[in-house]
Structure 1
Amino acid sequence: VIGPPLGGFITTYASWHWIFLINIPIGLLGIFMALRFIDPIKSETREPFDLYGMVLAGVGLAGIAFGLSVAGLNLLPWSTVAALVVGGAISMTLYVLHARRTGSPVLDFSLLKLPTLRAAVFGGFMFRLGIGALPFLLPLLMQIGFGLSPFHSGLVTFASSLGAMGMKTLAARIIRTFGFRNLMTVNAVVSAFFLGVCALFTVTTPLLIIMVILVVGGFFRSLEFTAINTVAYADVETAQMSRATTLVSVNQQLAVSAGVAVGAACVETTMWFNHVSEIDATVFAPAFVVIALTSAASSWFFWQMPADAGHEISGRKAVEIASRKGAAKSAATAAVKTATEDTQDVRDQRLG
């Protein structure tokens, strides 16, 4: 949440090296809090660690993620970027072949048979791919396109985090009311809409309006993230939790890297098409449109989930049962009332 303004402050008033060094104390604090507050979930049966699979998957994912992250940024020669991505893809292909022959793979793709996890992985990848480009495109637009300092840019993009914080207090109630499938399907489109609105930002757009749009968009994006991260484990058994966590986490990181690559590629393509050599505010609009459409496409995967997906963990099942009981009681009351009125009509006719 405090990353954008803190990173902007460090870049503006100190050395950019601290952006990386600050991860050390924050990381140590995160490790301590995880050990202190998160209960360890252990499998009843011990399984051998897939060291060979970890090496193949590690090399493959590192090559793909790093290659995609620097693609289009002109930080490395294209030959190096291509070698990273292709080498990573070859290593991941070897891993997939290996995973089919081992009983305890480090990345268990068989878990994708679960409808909720499959939707969270594939749909979540599409959604995060679009959203992952936002922290890359928006600061560039603010700094290079609008001429803001990194610190001021961080304060503007911080608005998105404010919306995310506000949503956390309402997420459980919203999910319980609408259910995972309905909420995730519709909210993916709504979130993508606010992402696409960023394409309309110009130098003359008041910063207040930009911040309001980012706050509202951050609310809906954070709601979608919460739903995706929760429903992913709805049908996962305790013994499979470790593998599922690994699979989901890797998917998240790849989506963010791919989002940066797609955003950078869109900017580069727009510059080439417009025959310009320097980045300005006009080259960002197509990128925002592309990533918005990509995020919206994730709704198709979410709609493929069962209608009652995740009801057990969201409390939606209890709400539906209570609703059915209320409807049944109302129907019974109406039936008794109708029968009483019919009886009264018969009596009135006889008296007549």
Structure 2
Amino acid sequence: MNTSAHKSNIVPLIVATAFFMENLDGTVITTALPQMAQTLGVNAVDMSVGITAYLITLAVFIPISGWLSDRLGSQTVFGSAVGIFTFASVLCALSQTVNQFMLARILQGIGGAMMVPVGRLIVLRTTSKSELVKTIALITWPGLVAPVIGPPLGGFLTTYFSWHWIFILNVPLGLLGIGLIRKFVSNDHQIEKRPLDYIGFLIIGSALAFTIIGVESIGSEGFSKSAVGYSALGIACGVTSWFHAKKHPHPLLDFSVLKVPTFGITFFSGSFTRVLIGATPFLAPLMFQIAFGYSAFMSGLLFLAAMLGNIGLKPLTPMLLKRFGFRNIMLGNGFIAAMAAMICGMLSPDTSIIGIVLAMFIYGVSRSMQFTCIQTLAFVDIPPEKMSGANTLFSTIGQLAQGVGVALGAAIVHITVMLRDGDINSPSAMDFRITFFTVGALILISLWGYLKLKPDAGAAASKHQPKKLT
């Protein structure tokens, strides 16, 4: 194997590992919060600041990642991001107070915000369109698998070792990653040095921070005045950033890439689909525990079947896309995803373990395929000079979609319980059934946007040749 081919194979693996580290740390501490709170001398509820601080920092600093990469070089920024993330992991493990832990998580969030978008940009710049499907499938799986195995892994480490190991495990991975980045990743950057859009960074950062706080509040409090207020502020700042970007010569977020049909459709319809499909990892374990009476550990094990679905379909993805094309796959698989949500709604405390596992597996398969298609098709027709801006915009909306998906699922449950005057702390199996059916119906509605795709959309990546009518 020549050096170029070897490099093209190793770089996606480096990026995938970094993605796994970043995505895992967003959920792995959820089951460790009680022990962490005891060690740091606070209530378990107070420890949620570690999760919130991390997610907000991620959202705020992702938009600046593209500018830094263009300015300093992708190797410099990616390597530094992994270094910051690793160092912050050590600080998290050494924290003696909740404030120290919060500051360490903020620093970790800054590193994570640079890792994901810059890592994807490196892959997009070094991968030919003919290999894009296979490569995107490789770097997509960490984002699908890590949130699933995070809680049970955190619970295992906390129970049999201590919560400190959750962060210590990042150190050898991070050090290995830094060495591999220096050896295999080129320090590509734009020749033209764009000035930083400071005002845009402030407006966009505010929009993302307020929106994340708002949707998190909706998920925990319902539609309280503060939750609605923060969400409204986030939307207002988002609209302001749109108008600011149209007037600024070098905007931090380049909305002009939305004119590319494949990117625009995946940005709007794809983000809507990602929000809806992303609600299930929150809803399913909650339903298993509250409505079915399973333990937290058992609920986590049941949802691991979704991970098997995520991984199992990856080898078949290029072949299926070549046979059917992006448009047909995204419509057909989107329908399966909607049915998977409704199947989850049909589960009950009397459903066998095999039945639940099968439902989770079907969900995982459909989620994996749809996410891979969205993240590949978005960049197929983007010209090289616009790739950095498109990647930054896509990464920003992707981070926002994660939080909104959880909030949407929680909001539907809240509304369902309120309509029957029930106890919001004890939703019934019927409440979850209505919620899953609603999510499934909304997924079907989101498929309307994919109808606008041409039959040969993304053919350069899928190699699909639609049959011509005679």
TM-score of Structure 1 vs Structure 2, range by shorter chain: 0.7 to 0.9
Of 287, 297, 301, the match for 2:435: 287
Work out whether residues 157 and 165 of structure 2, in 8 Å CA contact, stay in contact via their aligned partners in 1. Answer: no
**Aligned mates of 2:378, 2:167 — CA distance in 1:** 28
1:95 to partner: Cα distance:
1.4
Residue 377 of structure 2 corresponds to which residue in structure 1? 231
Listed one character per residue, the Cα deviations across residues 280-310 of structure 1 (whole Å, up to 9, x for unaligned) are 3221111101111122222211110122111
**Aligned mates of 1:130, 1:4 — CA distance in 2:** 17
1:25 to partner: Cα distance:
5.3
Q: 1:163 to 1:43 in 2, by over 3 A?
A: same
Work out whether residues 306 and 361 of structure 2, in 8 Å CA contact, stay in contact via their aligned partners in 1. Answer: yes
The amino acid that maps onto 1:4 is V
Work out whether residues 148 and 307 of structure 2, in 8 Å CA contact, stay in contact via their aligned partners in 1. Answer: no
Work out whether residues 129 and 291 of structure 1, in 8 Å CA contact, stay in contact via their aligned partners in 2. Answer: no
1:208 to partner: Cα distance:
1.0
Of 365, 371, 377, the match for 1:219: 365
Work out whether residues 41 and 238 of structure 1, in 8 Å CA contact, stay in contact via their aligned partners in 2. Answer: no
Of 196, 200, 207, the match for 1:60: 207
Partner of 1:100, secondary structure, is helix
**Aligned mates of 1:295, 1:28 — CA distance in 2:** 40
Of 193, 203, 207, the match for 1:46: 193
**Aligned mates of 1:154, 1:44 — CA distance in 2:** 48
Listed one character per residue, the Cα deviations across residues 295-337 of structure 1 (whole Å, up to 9, x for unaligned) are 22222111101221110122224xx6xx88xx99xxxxxxxxx
Query: Could you tell which deviates more after superposition, 282-291 or 30-39?
Result: 30-39
**Aligned mates of 1:104, 1:280 — CA distance in 2:** 51
Q: 1:55 to 1:29 in 2, by over 3 A?
A: farther
Work out whether residues 115 and 306 of structure 1, in 8 Å CA contact, stay in contact via their aligned partners in 2. Answer: no
Residue 73 of structure 2 corresponds to which residue in structure 1? none
Query: Could you tell which deviates more after superposition, 97-106 or 113-122?
Result: 97-106
The amino acid that maps onto 1:309 is A
Of 456, 462, 465, the match for 1:308: 456
**Aligned mates of 1:28, 1:79 — CA distance in 2:** 45
Q: 1:19 to 1:225 in 2, by over 3 A?
A: farther
**Aligned mates of 2:375, 2:247 — CA distance in 1:** 29
**Aligned mates of 2:254, 2:150 — CA distance in 1:** 37
The higher-RCO structure (CA 8 Å, 6+ apart) is 1
**Aligned mates of 1:134, 1:20 — CA distance in 2:** 29
Residue 299 of structure 2 corresponds to which residue in structure 1? 153
Q: 1:295 to 1:74 in 2, by over 3 A?
A: same
Of 418, 422, 428, the match for 1:272: 418
1:182 to partner: Cα distance:
1.4
For structure 1, list consecutive stretches of 5 or more residues without a partner in the other structure: 329-352
Partner of 2:380, secondary structure, is coil
Work out whether residues 327 and 451 of structure 2, in 8 Å CA contact, stay in contact via their aligned partners in 1. Answer: yes
1:74 to partner: Cα distance:
2.1
- Aligned residue pairs total 319
**Aligned mates of 2:300, 2:238 — CA distance in 1:** 36
**Aligned mates of 1:200, 1:314 — CA distance in 2:** 35
For structure 2, list consecutive stretches of 5 or more residues without a partner in the other structure: 1-144
In the alignment, structure 1 residue 101 sits paired with structure 2 residue 240:
no
Listed one character per residue, the Cα deviations across residues 215-237 of structure 1 (whole Å, up to 9, x for unaligned) are 12211221111111000001111
Greater Rg over alpha carbons, structure: 1
**Aligned mates of 2:147, 2:358 — CA distance in 1:** 19
Q: 1:240 to 1:161 in 2, by over 3 A?
A: same
**Aligned mates of 1:119, 1:78 — CA distance in 2:** 33
Of 389, 400, 413, the match for 1:254: 400
Q: 1:110 to 1:293 in 2, by over 3 A?
A: same
